[in-house]
Protein backbone atom coordinates (compact mmCIF):
# COMPACT_ATOMS: atom_id res chain seq x y z
CA UNK A 1 0.00 0.00 0.00
CA UNK A 2 1.08 3.58 -0.59
CA UNK A 3 0.24 6.69 1.39
CA UNK A 4 -1.13 9.78 -0.33
CA UNK A 5 -1.67 13.31 0.91
CA UNK A 6 -4.99 14.75 -0.22
CA UNK A 7 -5.15 18.46 0.52
CA UNK A 8 -6.75 21.78 -0.31
CA UNK A 9 -5.44 25.33 -0.08
CA UNK A 10 -6.35 27.73 2.69
CA UNK A 11 -9.25 29.82 1.45
CA UNK A 12 -10.47 27.21 -1.06
CA UNK A 13 -13.67 26.55 0.86
CA UNK A 14 -15.73 29.51 -0.34
CA UNK A 15 -19.29 28.41 0.43
CA UNK A 16 -21.53 30.53 2.69
CA UNK A 17 -20.86 30.12 6.43
CA UNK A 18 -24.39 28.82 7.08
CA UNK A 19 -23.52 25.77 4.93
CA UNK A 20 -20.61 24.75 7.19
CA UNK A 21 -22.64 22.22 9.24
CA UNK A 22 -23.68 20.40 6.03
CA UNK A 23 -20.11 20.43 4.71
CA UNK A 24 -18.75 19.16 8.04
CA UNK A 25 -21.33 16.37 8.11
CA UNK A 26 -20.47 15.34 4.54
CA UNK A 27 -16.72 15.42 5.27
CA UNK A 28 -17.15 13.33 8.42
CA UNK A 29 -19.18 10.80 6.42
CA UNK A 30 -16.29 10.40 3.95
CA UNK A 31 -13.85 9.97 6.84
CA UNK A 32 -16.08 7.25 8.35
CA UNK A 33 -16.26 5.55 4.95
CA UNK A 34 -12.46 5.65 4.62
CA UNK A 35 -12.07 4.31 8.18
CA UNK A 36 -14.50 1.49 7.43
CA UNK A 37 -12.55 0.70 4.24
CA UNK A 38 -9.31 0.58 6.29
CA UNK A 39 -7.55 3.26 4.23
CA UNK A 40 -7.79 6.28 6.57
CA UNK A 41 -4.51 7.24 8.27
CA UNK A 42 -5.30 10.73 9.64
CA UNK A 43 -6.27 14.22 8.60
CA UNK A 44 -7.72 17.51 9.70
CA UNK A 45 -8.29 21.16 9.04
CA UNK A 46 -5.73 23.81 9.86
CA UNK A 47 -6.10 27.25 11.37
CA UNK A 48 -5.61 30.21 9.06
CA UNK A 49 -2.13 30.79 7.66
CA UNK A 50 -2.21 34.12 9.51
CA UNK A 51 -1.21 32.18 12.66
CA UNK A 52 1.77 30.42 11.08
CA UNK A 53 5.29 30.58 12.50
CA UNK A 54 8.33 29.92 10.32
CA UNK A 55 11.43 28.37 11.89
CA UNK A 56 14.62 29.12 9.93
CA UNK A 57 17.57 26.76 9.59
CA UNK A 58 19.39 28.74 12.28
CA UNK A 59 16.50 28.21 14.70
CA UNK A 60 15.10 31.74 14.63
CA UNK A 61 11.33 32.00 14.63
CA UNK A 62 9.34 34.50 12.58
CA UNK A 63 5.60 34.90 13.03
CA UNK A 64 3.45 35.45 9.99
CA UNK A 65 3.11 33.81 6.63
CA UNK A 66 5.62 33.61 3.83
CA UNK A 67 4.40 34.44 0.35
CA UNK A 68 3.18 31.03 -0.86
CA UNK A 69 0.10 28.83 -0.86
CA UNK A 70 -0.93 27.31 2.47
CA UNK A 71 -2.70 24.05 3.18
CA UNK A 72 -6.17 24.59 4.65
CA UNK A 73 -6.88 20.94 5.38
CA UNK A 74 -5.61 17.49 4.53
CA UNK A 75 -6.22 13.77 4.62
CA UNK A 76 -3.74 10.92 4.46
CA UNK A 77 -4.93 7.65 2.96
CA UNK A 78 -3.08 4.36 2.54
CA UNK A 79 -4.28 2.73 -0.68
CA UNK A 80 -2.97 0.26 -3.25
CA UNK A 81 -2.94 2.67 -6.21
CA UNK A 82 -2.94 6.29 -7.32
CA UNK A 83 -6.29 5.61 -9.01
CA UNK A 84 -7.81 4.73 -5.64
CA UNK A 85 -6.25 7.84 -4.04
CA UNK A 86 -7.90 9.91 -6.78
CA UNK A 87 -11.24 8.24 -6.03
CA UNK A 88 -10.97 9.22 -2.36
CA UNK A 89 -9.91 12.75 -3.36
CA UNK A 90 -13.05 13.00 -5.51
CA UNK A 91 -15.24 12.02 -2.55
CA UNK A 92 -13.49 14.57 -0.34
CA UNK A 93 -13.80 17.27 -3.04
CA UNK A 94 -17.55 16.73 -3.22
CA UNK A 95 -17.92 16.74 0.58
CA UNK A 96 -15.72 19.80 1.15
CA UNK A 97 -16.94 21.63 -1.96
CA UNK A 98 -13.44 22.43 -3.16
CA UNK A 99 -10.74 20.93 -5.36
CA UNK A 100 -8.22 18.56 -3.79
CA UNK A 101 -4.54 18.06 -4.60
CA UNK A 102 -3.19 14.50 -4.49
CA UNK A 103 0.48 13.76 -3.79
CA UNK A 104 2.24 10.49 -3.07
CA UNK A 105 4.56 10.25 -0.07
CA UNK A 106 8.16 9.34 -0.87
CA UNK A 107 8.65 5.62 -0.11
CA UNK A 108 10.17 5.10 3.32
CA UNK A 109 9.15 8.55 4.61
CA UNK A 110 6.16 7.26 6.57
CA UNK A 111 5.95 4.46 9.13
Does some domain include residue 31? yes
Does some domain include residue 20? yes
pLDDT by residue (tens digit) across 63-89?
A: 877 767 788 999 999 999 999 999 999
Terminal C-alpha separation, the chain: 12
Does some domain include residue 110? no
pTM of the predicted model, to two decimals? 0.87
**Total domains present in the chain:** 1
CA dihedral 70, 75, 11, 92 (to 10 degrees): 150
Does some domain include residue 51? yes
What is the mean pLDDT of the segment spanning 17-36? 96
Angle between helices 82-96 and 20-37 (to 10 degrees): 160
What span, in angstroms and rounded, lies between the C-alpha atoms of 102 and 84?
11
Is pLDDT at 104 greater than 90 in this prediction? Answer: yes
Note down the domain range covering 55: 2-104
The CATH number linked to 15 is 3.30.70.1060
Amino acid sequence: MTRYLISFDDGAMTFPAEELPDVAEAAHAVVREAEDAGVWVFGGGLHSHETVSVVATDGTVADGPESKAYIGGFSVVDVPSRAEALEWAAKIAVACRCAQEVREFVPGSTP
